[in-house]
Amino acid sequence: MKRGNGFLTAGLLLTCVLTALILVGFFWTPYDPNAMAVGGKFDGPSLAHWMGTDNFGRDIFSRVLKGTGTTVSIALVTLAIGAVCGCLVGALTGYFGGPADGLLMRLNDALTAFPSILLALVVISILEPGKKANVILALGLVFIPSFARVTRTAFAGLRDVNFIKSARLMGAGSVRILAVHMLPNMLSVLLPALTIGFNNAVLAEASMSFLGIGVTPPDASLGYMLSEAQGMLFAAPWYALGTGLVIVLLVFSVGLLGEGLRRRDKGVL
Amino acid sequence: MSGELVLSLKHVFSGYTDGGGLLGKKERQEVLQDVTFDVFHGEILGLVGESGTGKSTLARTILGMVRPERGEVVHYTKRPQMVFQDPYSALNPFYSVEWNLEEPLRACGKYDRAERKRLVREMLARVELTEDYLAAKPAELSGGQCQRVSIGAALIQQPKFLIADEPVSALDVTIQAQLLDMLRTLRRELDLSYLFISHDLNVVYQLCDRVLVMKRGRIIEQGTVDEIFHCPKEEYTKQLLAAAE
């Protein structure tokens, strides 16, 4: 980083603050997020209840804190599944080529033709809706094609570069070439893809829970809370506002981080 | 020259395959036509010819990156190594000079950590760089320094035969002269033989012992530097020489 990179600094700062809040939320919240009548019914935001209370008198800030943790952990595991499997497919097709390349990439094209939410809907209805593990699995599967595409291009681009040819001549094995020689040189495309993927995963989880096929009570997730909030939009507008704002903030800060990384990295690709 | 063989090619026909994939039709491009020559122990064999005549395909065929269609490639030493024209592309840009030099040793798994460190420093001195460069990334080096490192990386597994594909063409003339000197010294000290590919006849004249002249995938003339440069037999060789003056 030679010049100041405002995107990266701002993104890092915001992400760190959010991460800290989420980590705190795992162990401690101002009130028990599921305890009823810790305040009055539909109390507005106050010093005691920063985001007010809902129809059961639950503290919304505590619920948001807990729910963000749920949403983010689902998004991270989803992302890990998508990225690792996508990378493997990308390596297989981009580096080795051959018939597997043609076959897998056409399959990939076919999957990309469907909106990812729709695909996740199909997968989740085949599995069993309402389970956290199934939500993760469905979203993870849906995220594989985009990562496969991005990494395939990068692996294929590096395959015939001289330092990779040299590595083969030196007798380095394929796994070593892919993981040690190639992967670090792909960070400039991989990191932005990861941040964008994370945001998509957050939004996808929120959408699915909002539609009622994602995380179900008693687990609080941002999407589920948003769908709750919809029913009391006029009685407690702060519920929807607080929850929505956190989603926006989350996506915004990671987006900044991704843009910052993209601007910083000028790798061989 | 002891007359001991390092490499010999016998009637090699080779090329590469274009296209392919799931639906694409494969097209075979024939490049090398009936190529026969020997490389002897300790010599620097020059390979000249216009671009597009198959010099690089010949190098790739020798290294086994391309399988010959017909004919035989016989190696009398262990795995040869290669130096490329663009010095920056030959080193992994993500890692330091030290990593790039050490990686071939790590890949073959025959050396422990201390031994690797020692060999890396020894090689760094051989390619005439100080230890200040160990931590540098390739992008921070000049073209000449970078080429020194990639020659070092190619030699660190102690091969006996090195293929150099236009190794000094991307460098300016003073740096060229220094590198050619270094290549000569390395040959003597490490007991090496080179196949030196170049389109620059002046460089070939300075460095090589024998020369192969290649045209459209065929070796049309071969001989000692004196023979080729002072009494060429083929019209094409005369044209090349005239163009180089």
pLDDT at A178: 94
Helix A222-231 to helix A187-210 angle, to the nearest 10 degrees?
40
CB B133, CB B167: distance < 8 Å: no
**Is pLDDT larger for residue A7 or for residue B10?**
B10
pLDDT digits (tens, 9 = 90+) for B152-170: 999 999 999 999 999 998 8
Instruction: State the average pLDDT over residues A223-240.
Output: 82
Query: Residues 6 or more apart from A231 whose CB is under 8 A from it?
Result: none
Under an 8 A CB cutoff, do B22 and A106 touch? yes
Return the exposure string of A200-237: e unless at least 16 CB atoms fall within 10 Å of the residue's CB, then b.
bbbbbbbbbbbeebbbeeeebbbbbbbbbbeeeeeebe
Q: Tell me the shortest Cα–Cα distance from B58 to chain A, in angstroms.
A: 15
Instruction: State the average pLDDT over residues B195-200.
Output: 91
**Is pLDDT larger for residue A53 or for residue B189?**
B189
How far the first Cα of chain A sits from its last, in Å, is: 18
CB B47, CB B58: distance < 8 Å: yes
Q: Tell me the shortest Cα–Cα distance from B92 to chain A, in angstroms.
A: 6
Query: Residues 6 or more apart from A232 whose CB is under 8 A from it?
Result: A42, A54, A55, A239
Under an 8 A CB cutoff, do A166 and B90 touch? yes
Q: Tell me the shortest Cα–Cα distance from A3 to chain B, in angstroms.
A: 17
pLDDT range class, residue B21, cuts 50, 70, 90: low
Under an 8 A CB cutoff, do B79 and A169 touch? yes
Closest chain A residue by Cα to residue B87: A162
Instruction: State the average pLDDT over residues A17-36.
Output: 82
Instruction: State the average pLDDT over residues B123-129.
Output: 95
**Is pLDDT larger for residue A124 or for residue B90?**
B90
Q: How many CA atoms lie within 13 A of A196 on its CB side?
A: 13
Residues of B in contact with A106 (CB under 8 A): 22
At residue A269, does pLDDT exceed 50?
no
Question: Which strands sit side by side in the sheet containing B70-75, from one edge to the other?
Answer: B27-40, B5-18, B70-75
| DSSP state letter for A219 | S
**Is pLDDT larger for residue B148 or for residue A229?**
B148
E strands, chain B, are: 5-18, 27-40, 44-48, 70-75, 81-83, 161-165, 193-197, 210-215, 218-224
What ipTM was predicted for this assembly? 0.87
CB B73, CB B9: distance < 8 Å: yes
pLDDT at A163: 95
pLDDT range class, residue B28, cuts 50, 70, 90: low
- Quote the CA–CA distance of B200 and B85 in Å, as a whole number: 13
pLDDT at A161: 93
pLDDT at A1: 42
Under an 8 A CB cutoff, do B94 and A169 touch? no
**Is pLDDT larger for residue A95 or for residue A217?**
A95
Under an 8 A CB cutoff, do A185 and B79 touch? no
Q: Which residues pair with B45 in a beta bridge?
A: B195, B210
pLDDT at A205: 84
Q: Tell me the shortest Cα–Cα distance from B156 to chain A, in angstroms.
A: 10
* Residue B122: count of CB within 10 angstroms of its CB: 11
Closest chain A residue by Cα to residue B91: A163
pLDDT range class, residue B83, cuts 50, 70, 90: very high
